[in-house]
Structure 1
Amino acid sequence: MGEELKKKNFSNINVKIKKAKLTEKAIYLIEKKGIEVDEAFQTYGLQISPFSYPRIYRKYKEKGLEGIIDTRGGKRVEKVTPSIKDFIILQKSKNKKLTAKQIRKKVWEEYDVQLHIRSISNILRDKGLSTGKGRPKKEIEEVAIDHAGGFLLKGALICMGLVKVIVDRIRIRADEIEKNGDKSFKWMSVISASRKVLSRKIETLLYMPIFQMERIWHFKTVYPRDGLGVLSGSGLPYKYHTMDNFLRELPRLDIDKILSRDLARAYIEVFNLKFETKEEQTFYIDCHKKVLWTKKNVPKGLHATRNKILKCLDVYFIHDCNGMPILPWTRPGDSHLVNEIMPIIEELEKSVGKEIVKLVIFDREGVSLALFREFTERGKRFVTILKTNQYDSEDDFIFEKGSKWRYVTIKTAKGKKRFNIKEGTKILVEQESGKKYEVRVILAKDLGTGKMPVFITNIIKSEEPDCTKIVKKYIKRWFQENSFKQMKPGLYLDTNHGSNGVALKENRVIKRKVKKLEEEIRAKTNAIISAESFIERRLDSIKRKKTTMNKKVLQLENKLKNINAKMLTEINVNERAYLLKRQEGMHLEESEFIKYYESVISKWQSDINRKQSYIDKKRNEIKDITNKLSKIDQKEILYEIDSRKDHIMTNLEVALNNADLFLKKNFFPPEYKNADFKAIRDILYKQDGFIKESKDEISVTLKHYRQELDHQMLAEYVVNKINAAEIITEEGKRLRMEVL
């Protein structure tokens, strides 16, 4: 099989040749069939990185099968025999102070074998006999770094314990995998990574928005400066392939949803939310559309900002009463708020372990009678806005006798808003089932804009007599939504981090389209049947009218004949004048009678013509719909995006946002409480400076703000608060900061 193989005495030569032949088959699938590298190698049970494939293929082209046989290793004589191993353990057990170097000398004297110190250290460590004494760590001299202000967020994350929560979840899952002996995960480095390495990589992902890095690709194209490595604790920033592989491995652990619950629980503890008051039991639910750039056929949805139907993911957020996002919920782009409200509430309550959601506020996309009934049955309350197509005017509502418009002023984050409000009720009817549901309504005429939103709720008057408070709760959502929009540019919530699609057995989108078109055909067919029935009735009516008219005309003509006969024989002048007058009257009656019947028949004929045109129109529409149906490829495969990677990154973005909120709440002056992340990032987190690290302290110095006195004062204020908090890192080092 070649000179190189002959030189080495392999004990597993057959295994190596078999693996090379399987690799050759995988190469055939890739080059001839166009199959992806990962999929091709996995088909034959091989675990080979896609990054190694160009090297493997090059060797195969140069030398064929022989070029891809693994020639590493070979049969070697084992230096550390069981007897030598026992001797090493015995020597260390007798004298704990013996070093690996001293034991090596004893082994050489006893067995005439030279061992490496590391081999001896590994044996001692495995048996728990290592002294663990290493080289003393040198103090790092003060060095200049970019984004030194990022240590403010690092301090907040340490106080909140968020990195620990994430690493704990990864380690729990990794331990489960190792315990179950699942070999399909064996190749993943995240399984064997230490807590320190996991913390550094998680922090690297967390801090990306500070360095204006939207996606992992920016580790390659917009490579960060040294500040990211120093901030995460890794020294130099990680390379693209390292972070890309790490982020590819995380979703395979299937921890995205349970991680959301872990972090939600952490936010609740850190921000000391007790859920004892009605205010704390109020939550807001919003949906953010995240556009997907993929060629695969994935579900689509209406992107309100762009006003287009686009391939996207729906990311739902449940916020607390102060607008802090607590838990994200990622769904396909064709999801609907009506179907997701209850699951996200259940997910939040699952994280806390008890029912905490009493009132939910959401937009008009959630208007559904079935959902309203479920809220009422579960003892929960909602506030939303009625859709504009569900009412025309004030007359569509029921008001109590003597009910009048009332002027109110509502304070908001952006000033005062003036309304005229009026309270009433409305009966909503479900189209399909005909079931009814009564809601409490509050009409609110905005005196500034002239608009009149209609707020609806199942909060009864005995629970909240003052309807103004209900309006205030919903209006608060508008300004929370604005605050949420400010997160998008700074934290890159619009960025999609994964587009791997999973083929579904059933194409639900095609199924919905076909069902909708078939329902349209049925509706139009029924309309045609109804119109044809109308035409038949009209034709029958025309026939009866003509018969009646002919009878009437015949009767009048017979009477006229009698009068004409009498006039021929009548001599009396007065009698002839009377008969002549009757004759004229009958002619007039006949003329008016015929005119009336002809007008009625003409009108009915017009109705028939209109209905016939209507039928022709509906038949053409059915023809168009049938053509659409015939063009639909019912075998088209629908893919659903594997959103686990994206959901993990969304969790990290929310964690960074909440760390920023934690800083502003506990360490910032009150006037900066509502400042958005991007503004604070540009003022503080991006500020360059210096760092000096010793064995018990990390000292960070921010550069002086030469022209912005307000920024200098803000930085000094925050730094003093950070120092007063006595923040200690996981390595036991105190974080100390100052501003030049």
Structure 2
Amino acid sequence: MFEENRQLGADHSSERNKGRFTADYNKLNGVRTTKFDSIEEKIRHKDLSRLQLLDAQTKTILRKNLAVLSLPLITLNGSMRDINKSIGNALKQICGYNYKHATIDKYLRELKYLRISSNFIKATADFWITFWAELNNEHPTLLCYYLDGNTKPIWSSKSCKKSKVTMLGRVMNCLEQVFVHDSFGNPTYFQTYSGNADLGTKALSLMEDIEDYLKAISSDGKVNRVMIMDSAANGVSTLRSIANANYYFITLLNENQTNPRKFKHIQPLVRYEHGAADLGECAVELIDSKEPDYIFECRGIIINWDKGKQTVAVTNLPTQIIDGSGVIKSYFDRWPSQELQFRSMKSAVSIHRVMGYGKKKIPDENMREKQEQVRKGIDKICSELKDVLDEIGGFDQELVPFYKEERLLKETTIIKDGKREADADTLSALETCQKEINRIKRSISKLLKPHKAKFGKLQRLRKEWKLIHRKGSCICCGCRT
């Protein structure tokens, strides 16, 4: 037989040596049309008797289950893309065999065809929630679950779902991983989605799947479930989905969402109990871009940092459950909690320190030179547009009383099912006030139009100045080089 094969010659030797399918195979109609079908569609035509899982011994299945269960630890909760790294060798001590990525990946794919993977996710979450709960003696007011996502680009000419890959600055084929940690920074699970993993739909359904396990760690079976996300998940449609599912959320607004006209019922500032800032409670009205007529109202907390920066957090947690300081602390505990494992490892091996040297603060001449360039650029444009800026300043002064009147009128209205409700006189007065605001804004736009390029440059320089104006020195090791 071997002699006959040698006489036949090599069949696509360049491809066979790499262990790949040929281009002709991928062009087959039966392969091409079903390549990206859902699992539900593929199951109908799948020969389940060919699955390797069905021929495996019980001992082997248990070993692989244990390997999958340990993935949040072995992969640093998703920061590594596979288990073929050095830390993956720990599988030999955990489950008795040093499995590689391809083996576990194939095992999980076969579980999908057997429709077991969703139950496996629930069981994995149940295990980690119970495991970490036994080690934590604290009983926080909120059961916080920190959600974050990481987008992995896929360099392929084949058709795949596309989304924004921030680290590359482009929209392309990608997979998105969603990580979930509990209140103490312990990993619960992570899952990968094709394209964009919308937290309002996919990740929310996963949290609902493990709802029974979340309640199980509460002594009375009642729990305040809070999903804490970064500003990448602050879309109004996402927040609406979370609120409608009877979950609480905490997130931050982007800079372009912090328009003072959206705030009402602004309370006096109080000191932040856990940091250098003042907090102001308010109500925030957000417009859903997918439904422009829908108004989403939620609780807002304005954070005025002592360093001069302002941040706005939004939540649907009532003040009866937790005050403003507690909300802000819960959010900013997110990063140390999600990076708890890696932070502990850095501390153990001291890789975050410069060993053998002292540290000192020295002037950063490059940054100071850049600051001077930006400042001169701002001054130059402001001098060239002095007359126009003076006129705009006059219009801004005209807007102040209208903004105040608009806020007072909004505070007398209520938002019900996304619609503003009030008596006819109040709604009429609000509409008149907003027309005056729009009239003045049109006048400002008319002044800006002939100098659009210069104002655009001025805006970019001012934005850059906000980032660099406090930077003028750096920390350097005390070496002589």
Distance 1:351 1:482, change over 3 A: closer
- State the shift of 1:230 in Å: 7.4
- State the shift of 1:217 in Å: 7.3
Higher helix share goes to which structure? 1
1:442 corresponds to which of 301, 315, 322: 301
Rounded to whole Å, the distance in 1 between the matches of 2:94 and 2:197 is: 39
Unpaired runs of at least 5, structure 2: 1-7, 33-44, 217-221, 347-445, 451-481
Once the two structures are superposed, the pairs formed by residues 664-683 of structure 1 within 5 Å of their partners are none
- State the shift of 1:486 in Å: 5.7
- State the shift of 1:261 in Å: 0.8
Distance 1:310 1:430, change over 3 A: closer
Rounded to whole Å, the distance in 1 between the matches of 2:245 and 2:327 is: 20
Residue 473 of structure 1 aligns with which residue? 330
Secondary structure class of the residue paired with 1:453: strand
Distance 1:342 1:247, change over 3 A: closer
**8 Å Cα contact 2:161-2:195 kept in structure 1:** yes
Rounded to whole Å, the distance in 2 between the matches of 1:306 and 1:282 is: 31
**8 Å Cα contact 2:282-2:300 kept in structure 1:** yes
Distance 1:418 1:195, change over 3 A: same
- State the shift of 1:194 in Å: 2.0
Residue 272 of structure 2 aligns with which residue? 408
The amino acid of 1:315's aligned partner reads Q
**8 Å Cα contact 2:228-2:331 kept in structure 1:** yes
- State the shift of 1:246 in Å: 6.2
Q: Please say if 1:186 is aligned against 2:53.
A: no
Residue 350 of structure 2 aligns with which residue? none
The amino acid of 2:256's aligned partner reads N
Residue 419 of structure 1 aligns with which residue? 277
**8 Å Cα contact 2:258-2:312 kept in structure 1:** no
Residue 265 of structure 1 aligns with which residue? 126
Rounded to whole Å, the distance in 1 between the matches of 2:111 and 2:191 is: 18
The amino acid of 2:110's aligned partner reads R
Rounded to whole Å, the distance in 2 between the matches of 1:379 and 1:203 is: 33
Distance 1:326 1:373, change over 3 A: same
Secondary structure class of the residue paired with 2:173: strand
- State the shift of 1:429 in Å: 2.9
**8 Å Cα contact 1:446-1:452 kept in structure 2:** yes
- State the shift of 1:252 in Å: 1.7
Q: Please say if 1:457 is aligned against 2:315.
A: yes
Residue 429 of structure 1 aligns with which residue? 287
Residue 494 of structure 1 aligns with which residue? none
Rounded to whole Å, the distance in 2 between the matches of 1:408 and 1:333 is: 39
The amino acid of 2:123's aligned partner reads D
- State the shift of 1:197 in Å: 3.0
**8 Å Cα contact 2:74-2:83 kept in structure 1:** no
- State the shift of 1:202 in Å: 5.7
**8 Å Cα contact 2:153-2:173 kept in structure 1:** yes
Q: Please say if 1:198 is aligned against 2:56.
A: no
Residue 208 of structure 2 aligns with which residue? 346
**8 Å Cα contact 1:361-1:384 kept in structure 2:** yes
Rounded to whole Å, the distance in 1 between the matches of 2:262 and 2:201 is: 28
The amino acid of 2:146's aligned partner reads Y
Rounded to whole Å, the distance in 1 between the matches of 2:83 and 2:139 is: 42
The amino acid of 1:407's aligned partner reads R
Larger RCO, structures 1/2 (Cα 8 Å, 6+ apart): 1
Residue 383 of structure 1 aligns with which residue? 250
Residue 252 of structure 1 aligns with which residue? 110
Distance 1:316 1:369, change over 3 A: same
After superposition, give the CA deviation of every residue in 1:609-639 in whole Å (9 maximum; x if it has no partner). x9xx99xxxxxxxxxxxxxxxxxxxxxxxxx
The structure having more radius of gyration, on CA atoms, is: 1
Residue 136 of structure 1 aligns with which residue? none
The amino acid of 2:298's aligned partner reads V
Rounded to whole Å, the distance in 1 between the matches of 2:345 and 2:24 is: 37
- State the shift of 1:281 in Å: 2.5
Rounded to whole Å, the distance in 2 between the matches of 1:260 and 1:454 is: 35
- State the shift of 1:200 in Å: 4.6
**8 Å Cα contact 1:349-1:356 kept in structure 2:** no
**8 Å Cα contact 1:364-1:387 kept in structure 2:** yes
- State the shift of 1:469 in Å: 1.3
Residue 188 of structure 2 aligns with which residue? 326
Rounded to whole Å, the distance in 1 between the matches of 2:166 and 2:259 is: 24
Rounded to whole Å, the distance in 1 between the matches of 2:235 and 2:207 is: 17
**8 Å Cα contact 1:383-1:455 kept in structure 2:** yes
Secondary structure class of the residue paired with 2:163: strand
1:297 corresponds to which of 159, 181, 191: 159
Once the two structures are superposed, the pairs formed by residues 642-721 of structure 1 within 5 Å of their partners are none
The amino acid of 1:184's aligned partner reads D
- State the shift of 1:301 in Å: 2.4
Residue 363 of structure 1 aligns with which residue? 230
Secondary structure class of the residue paired with 2:160: coil
- State the shift of 1:195 in Å: 2.9
Rounded to whole Å, the distance in 2 between the matches of 1:310 and 1:41 is: 26
After superposition, give the CA deviation of every residue in 1:225-265 in whole Å (9 maximum; x if it has no partner). 9x97677545xx67x7xx74664244122133321111111
The amino acid of 1:197's aligned partner reads T
Secondary structure class of the residue paired with 2:299: strand
Secondary structure class of the residue paired with 1:270: helix
Higher strand share goes to which structure? 2
Rounded to whole Å, the distance in 1 between the matches of 2:31 and 2:194 is: 28
**8 Å Cα contact 2:150-2:178 kept in structure 1:** yes
- State the shift of 1:451 in Å: 2.4
Distance 1:232 1:442, change over 3 A: closer
**8 Å Cα contact 1:329-1:344 kept in structure 2:** no
The amino acid of 1:472's aligned partner reads K
Rounded to whole Å, the distance in 1 between the matches of 2:53 and 2:329 is: 48
Rounded to whole Å, the distance in 1 between the matches of 2:140 and 2:80 is: 40
Once the two structures are superposed, the pairs formed by residues 236-635 of structure 1 within 5 Å of their partners are 244=102, 247-254=105-112, 255-272=116-133, 279=141, 281-349=143-211, 358-393=225-260, 396-400=262-266, 403-410=267-274, 417-431=275-289, 432-448=291-307, 450-464=308-322, 466-483=323-340
Secondary structure class of the residue paired with 1:253: helix
The amino acid of 2:211's aligned partner reads E
State, as a whole percentage, how many aligned pairs show the same letter. Answer: 19
Rounded to whole Å, the distance in 1 between the matches of 2:263 and 2:149 is: 30
Q: Using structure 2 for the length normalisation, give the TM-score.
A: 0.51
Distance 1:433 1:269, change over 3 A: same
Rounded to whole Å, the distance in 1 between the matches of 2:64 and 2:297 is: 53
Aligned residue pairs: how many? 310
After superposition, give the CA deviation of every residue in 1:20-40 in whole Å (9 maximum; x if it has no partner). xxxx9xx99x99995449x89
The amino acid of 2:320's aligned partner reads S
Unpaired runs of at least 5, structure 1: 1-23, 44-181, 411-416, 490-609, 615-740
Q: Using structure 1 for the length normalisation, give the TM-score.
A: 0.35
After superposition, give the CA deviation of every residue in 1:119-139 in whole Å (9 maximum; x if it has no partner). xxxxxxxxxxxxxxxxxxxxx
Distance 1:484 1:347, change over 3 A: farther
The amino acid of 1:188's aligned partner reads L
Distance 1:279 1:428, change over 3 A: same
- State the shift of 1:379 in Å: 3.8
Rounded to whole Å, the distance in 2 between the matches of 1:461 and 1:481 is: 26
